[in-house]
Amino acid sequence: MASTSPVLLAFNSNNNGATLTRPLTVPPKRNFRRRTSLTTRLIKANHPDNALQYRKLGDSDLQISEITLGTMTFGKQNTENEAHAMLCYAFESGINALDTAEVYPVPPSKETQGRTDLYIGSWLKSQPRDKVIVATKVAGYSEQSTYLRQNAKVVRVDTANIKESVENSLKRLNIDYIDLLQIHWPDRYVPLFGEFFYDPSKWRPSVPFVEQLEAFQELIDEGKVRYIGVSNETSYGVMEFVHAAKAGLPKIVSIQNNYSLLVRCHFEIDLVEVCHPNNYNIGLLAYSPLAGGALTGKYLDIDSYAAKKGRFNLFPGYMERYNRSLAKEVTSKYIQLAKEHGLTPVELALGFTRDRSFVTSSIIGATSVDQLKVDIDACLNTKRPLPPEVTSGIEEIFKTYKDPAVR
């Protein structure tokens, strides 16, 4: 695995008591004037009777909506106008955070790289900057995605790569600071995207954790980055970053990892303990809460119109772990459980991640406003928390099948 780019192969404890106020996201060392009339405004928007909740992200002062808008389809499956329509609908609905990455759109390619940021940047021109939490990601180790840098034989998470990445992201996004900068995947070898077990033979030398944090510190001191986080990370990586930060360097506030009904073990085994607010207090941004769309059930009938339009069929081999027979079998069981309790598959899947005490925000992507509306409505309109008979049904399935999508 060391010779391939991981991205080419294929994210809160007791935070549910958040207020329903829409928080400001004013960056440090900037003298933006706060408009106090907005700090306590209830978010009514498109859901007047059931507003989104907001949760503190780790040790930061960011109050982030329980849904973050994922944007990786912008520039591949979505046009700029479609992207803007979804961004507008999301923020009118109370979402206050978006997540992008320098490699987006996905699947990544040299020809489309950065297009997602450009679409977001053109939208941000008409938005009050302090009302949008912009999260982006610097690429991890890659020997194939060298087009991300001007002169690179391999992409690393060292000082030069981090700084070049941030400068380019700021230009594409048309902003002068990033609220949350995350390492997309580690510089060192780790099992990724469906791989579960660590292969000792794939160990390789990596950039020291301290060097990575020192580069982030410089960017924070320059006012270009507010907070930092990790993604696709392990307990070892999280703990090393936290320990390295004790030397006066910035501490990570978030971890963006895969988490859904079909992918639970990797986080629940020990990252839940590591990230607990009484331990290292690191908020989980759960990506793929619908397992790339698999948990909607649309891929169970491969000949259906929805399946043919879906990314699994548009991009052969992409997220194929969710298309395996066992994953499909377990998906069918969750869909049946939802039906038995009067829920849609989306309501069950998003209600599950919404209610987990350690999930700060679920990252939800869509390819249309209609699809996005279904997802937001599912989060808002499904009973909080899911009834005990529903959660017990989920656990019964989980006890038998655990994570059916692992490789």
Task: Examine the residue annotation and report whether 104 is marked as an active-site residue of this protein.
Answer: yes
Amino acid identity for residue 140 in this structure: G
Span 343-366, pLDDT tens digits = 999 999 999 999 999 999 999 999
What is the DSSP-derived secondary structure letter of residue 74?
B
Q: Average of pLDDT values for 106-123?
A: 97
How does strand 63-65 pair with strand 54-56?
Answer: antiparallel
Q: Which of 288, 297, 232, 282 is nearest to 263 (CA)?
A: 288
Residue partners of 82: CB distance under 8 A and separation at least 6 = 367, 368
Output the pLDDT for position 312.
Answer: 65
Distance, CA of 71 to CA of 356 (rounded, Å): 23
Residue 18 in this model has a pLDDT that exceeds 50: no
Please give the full DSSP string across 204-264, using - where no structure is assigned: -----HHHHHHHHHHHHHTTSEEEEEEES--HHHHHHHHHHHTTTPPPP-EEEEE-BTTB-
Residue 308: pLDDT band (50, 70, 90) is low
Q: H helices then E strands: how many in the chain?
A: 14, 10
Distance, CA of 373 to CA of 117 (rounded, Å): 22
Residue partners of 29: CB distance under 8 A and separation at least 6 = 223
Span 310-320, pLDDT tens digits = 776 667 766 67
Do the Cβ atoms of 39 and 58 come closer than 8 Å? no
Span 193-247, pLDDT tens digits = 878 899 999 999 999 999 999 999 999 999 999 999 999 999 999 999 999 999 9
Detail the DSSP E strand segments found in 19-96.
54-56, 63-65, 67-70
Lowest mean pLDDT, pick from 37-41, 223-227, 263-267:
37-41
Distance, CA of 309 to CA of 370 (rounded, Å): 15
Distance, CA of 133 to CA of 400 (rounded, Å): 39
Give Cα separations from 171 to 121, 222, 286 (angstroms). 9, 16, 27
Residue 302: pLDDT band (50, 70, 90) is confident
Distance, CA of 130 to CA of 214 (rounded, Å): 26
Give the active site residue among 54, 104, 189, 280.
Answer: 104
Q: Which of 259, 264, 258 is nearest to 232 (CA)?
A: 258
Distance, CA of 317 to CA of 311 (rounded, Å): 10
For 301, the 3-state DSSP assignment is coil
The CATH class that applies to domain 6-297+357-384 reads alpha beta
| Residue 279 in tokens | 């331990």
Distance, CA of 243 to CA of 208 (rounded, Å): 12
Residue 321: pLDDT band (50, 70, 90) is confident
Question: What stretch of H or E contains 135?
Answer: strand 133-138
Q: Average of pLDDT values for 32-56?
A: 52
Residue 1: pLDDT band (50, 70, 90) is very low
Distance, CA of 159 to CA of 165 (rounded, Å): 10
The per-residue pLDDT of the chain, averaged, comes to: 88
Do the Cβ atoms of 60 and 29 come closer than 8 Å? no
Q: Which of 26, 45, 39, 226 is nearest to 132 (CA)?
A: 26
Residue 15 in this model has a pLDDT that exceeds 50: no
Detail the DSSP E strand segments found in 15-109.
54-56, 63-65, 67-70, 97-99
Span 149-186, pLDDT tens digits = 999 999 999 999 999 999 999 999 999 999 999 999 99
Distance, CA of 73 to CA of 311 (rounded, Å): 10
Residue 85 in this model has a pLDDT that exceeds 90: yes
Residue 49: pLDDT band (50, 70, 90) is low
For 180, the 3-state DSSP assignment is strand
Output the pLDDT for position 318.
Answer: 63
Q: Average of pLDDT values for 137-159?
A: 97
Distance, CA of 58 to CA of 153 (rounded, Å): 35
| Residue 75 in tokens | 């520039």
Output the pLDDT for position 194.
Answer: 78
Residue 28 in this model has a pLDDT that exceeds 70: no
| Residue 378 in tokens | 């599912």
Distance, CA of 260 to CA of 352 (rounded, Å): 8
